[in-house]
Chains A and B, each alone.
Chain A
Amino acid sequence: MAAQDAAPDLAVVTTGLTKEFGDRRVVDDLDLAIPSGSVCGFVGPNGAGKTTTIRMLLGLIRPTRGSGRILQGDLDHPASYLARVGALIESPAFYPSLSGRDNLRALVRLGQLAPSAIPEVLERVGLADRAGDRFSRYSLGMKQRLGIAAALLPDPSLLVLDEPTNGLDPAGIVEMRSLIRSLADEGMTIFVSSHLLSEIEHICDHVVMIRSGRSVFQGSVAELYGMRSSELVIRPEEPAQLEGLAVLLSRRGLTAQIDASSGTVVVSDAVALAGSLNRAAFEAGIVIVHLAERERSLEEAYFALTGTHSGDVEAVGALGGIQ
């Protein structure tokens, strides 16, 4: 579908959106179709191209190629739609020596918005009592909330939030989810990025996953759940036989991974073969004491789609954050 023919029920449509910085292609032929009124998660590892995509949607970065329509406005003319868009891009950026209220006042004046929006959004994000404090004195959570308040100033039809839970403590993350959900209940389209699916899966009804700048999944959360595959967890009687069991399974063309901590071998897409595998193991002198089907979690499905070998994720994995 060409972006120019965007259906009115789509808040954001892009076709072949591409951004290159020199020889490096950061966003690669990305087609987005975000339904109006949805909470759309934009998920991918760090460095996958999420922020660059968001900046292109907001007119901060020019696409190298591709087209798009946002709220029926042309991506090439951000002024045609940005008045109806609110955005929090990466970390909240404000003037440290101005109060939270004055920071918002600068934006209200620039956007020719109603000054009455300032107390309303401050109340909404729970910052009314601290509105007169300097931004530099705010905690990280308060800064993030002020960022949301700034994004809400124009009473937007589309709210773009780039990693809104970054740096928040668990309580702050819960608060942020609740705020996003309540905004969505009012009919606002919300496009929220995160490198952790688990942080946003409960609030999204639509998901776009990208890896290395390319879309690897796009659809409803229900469709994503439907994509989860099962795996077989096998535990031999003797832990020393783990290696032998893995080799046996590999020879049958199966993908087997040893989990030494639980003394099991995990085999993908082999539930139907459970009986024959048990028999083959017995014939090879390996006694199986546990053989069970396990459904992969959404997070595992996410990693299967996006991989764990890109940029920062690899480093996090090395620290044990991601298996």
Chain B
Amino acid sequence: MMIVAAFRSEWVKLRRPNLLVGTYAGLALAASLFAVLLFAQAPATGRGGLPSLAQLAQPDGLIHGVNRAAVLLGVVAFGIAATQIASEYSLGTLRQLLVRQPRRVILLAGKFGAVLAFMLGAVVFASLVATVAAFVMAHARHVPTAAWTSSEGLADLTRALGDLLLATVGFTVFGLVVGLLFRSSVTAIIVGFAYLLPFEAVVTRIVPNTATWLPGQLLQSVAIGGQQTAGFAHSLILSAVYLVVAGAVATVVFVHKDVTA
């Protein structure tokens, strides 16, 4: 019950219009843009890195756009989660919260649950809007969509969405851990983004083998159902190990650290 109370308390903050509309609409727009561009730029036959119109007409045609939006969704999930926890320190609101709920693990669990629910909702919403955009663009470019709604197509879509949600859980936990450890929204976001985007990209380009164990690469692999460098099962298991360890360290720090902010 206390975790539910902590969840509902956090939800009061998450549902504020700026954050709710900004995140849901922003992600939906971005995911839709990926779908629109994918269909707009798709060649009649395969060339370059883009799927062809014929490939887009396949049962898994709908998930090409979803896969390309995975990194963006992950980065947003990370940023929001890191900000939600770190701002409690910078605003000084954590002391208010801990007076009302001194059981710190419960407070953290409720907060985590609420941020996770918020982000999963945003990803589902963005996926739905992007799917609608894909149907519109398919119609515009005369791509048949019957295969998308076949049982095979719906299974592909469900699996892709499930993978994306799993990766969102990972990026959200990653954001919460970094926010807890740095206790400053700005620092957490700078460090997290710098790590997830340029750092890992550079390292994997220089030493391709590192993609099999770098956490950001693993989460991206989970988001798109596995890739050549790291299979889905490997990525999922190793990501889970990383996140459990990081979550445990952050929880211990949160529970035992004095609150002087």
Q: Which residues of A contact B95 (CB under 8 A)?
A: 55, 58, 60, 89, 93
Asked if A62 is an interface residue, CB under 8 A from chain B, the answer is: yes
Q: Which residues of B contact A107 (CB under 8 A)?
A: 9, 96-97, 100
B96 touches A90 (CB 8 A): no
Q: For the side of the interface on A, what is the size category?
A: 20 to 34
Question: Which B87-107 residues have a C-beta within 8 angstroms of A?
Answer: 91-93, 95-103, 107
Q: For the side of the interface on B, what is the size category?
A: 20 to 34
Question: Which A43-100 residues have a C-beta within 8 angstroms of B?
Answer: 55, 58-62, 78-79, 82, 85-87, 89-91, 93-98
B92 touches A91 (CB 8 A): yes
CA distance A85 to B258 in the complex (A): 19
A60 touches B101 (CB 8 A): no
CA distance A55 to B259 in the complex (A): 8
Closest to A111 in B: B100
CA distance A200 to B103 in the complex (A): 33
Tell me whether chain A's interface is mostly helix, strand or loop, or mixed: loop
B91 touches A95 (CB 8 A): yes
Asked if A106 is an interface residue, CB under 8 A from chain B, the answer is: yes
Question: Which B169-204 residues have a C-beta within 8 angstroms of A?
Answer: none
A61 touches B9 (CB 8 A): no
CA distance A106 to B6 in the complex (A): 9
Closest to B6 in A: A110
The one of B9, B96, B256 that contacts A109, using a Cβ cutoff of 8 Å: B9
A214-240 toward B: CB 8 Å interface, digit per residue (1/0)?
Answer: 000000000000000000000000000
A151-186 toward B: CB 8 Å interface, digit per residue (1/0)?
Answer: 001100000000000000000000000000000000
Taking the nearest CB of chain A, how far is it from the CB of B111, in angstroms? 10
CB-CB under 8 A for A59 and B102, given A95-B91, A109-B9: yes
Question: Which B110-128 residues have a C-beta within 8 angstroms of A?
Answer: 110
Asked if A102 is an interface residue, CB under 8 A from chain B, the answer is: yes
Asked if A207 is an interface residue, CB under 8 A from chain B, the answer is: no
Q: Which residues of B contact A154 (CB under 8 A)?
A: 100
Asked if B260 is an interface residue, CB under 8 A from chain A, the answer is: yes
Among the 9-residue stretches B10-18, B48-56, B68-76, B219-227, the one with 4 or more Cβ atoms under 8 Å from chain A is B10-18
Binding site for B on A (CB under 8 A): 55, 58-62, 78-79, 82, 85-87, 89-91, 93-98, 102, 105-107, 109-112, 150, 153-154
A55-B258, A95-B91, A112-B2 provided; 19 other pairs, C-beta below 8 A? Answer: A58-B95, A58-B98, A59-B98, A60-B99, A60-B258, A61-B260, A78-B102, A85-B99, A89-B95, A93-B92, A93-B96, A95-B16, A102-B16, A106-B12, A107-B96, A109-B5, A110-B9, A110-B110, A112-B1
Binding site for A on B (CB under 8 A): 1-2, 5-6, 8-10, 12-13, 16, 18, 91-93, 95-103, 107, 110, 256, 258-260
Could you list some 9 contacts between A and B, CB below 8 A? A58-B98, A59-B99, A59-B102, A60-B259, A89-B95, A95-B16, A97-B16, A98-B13, A102-B16
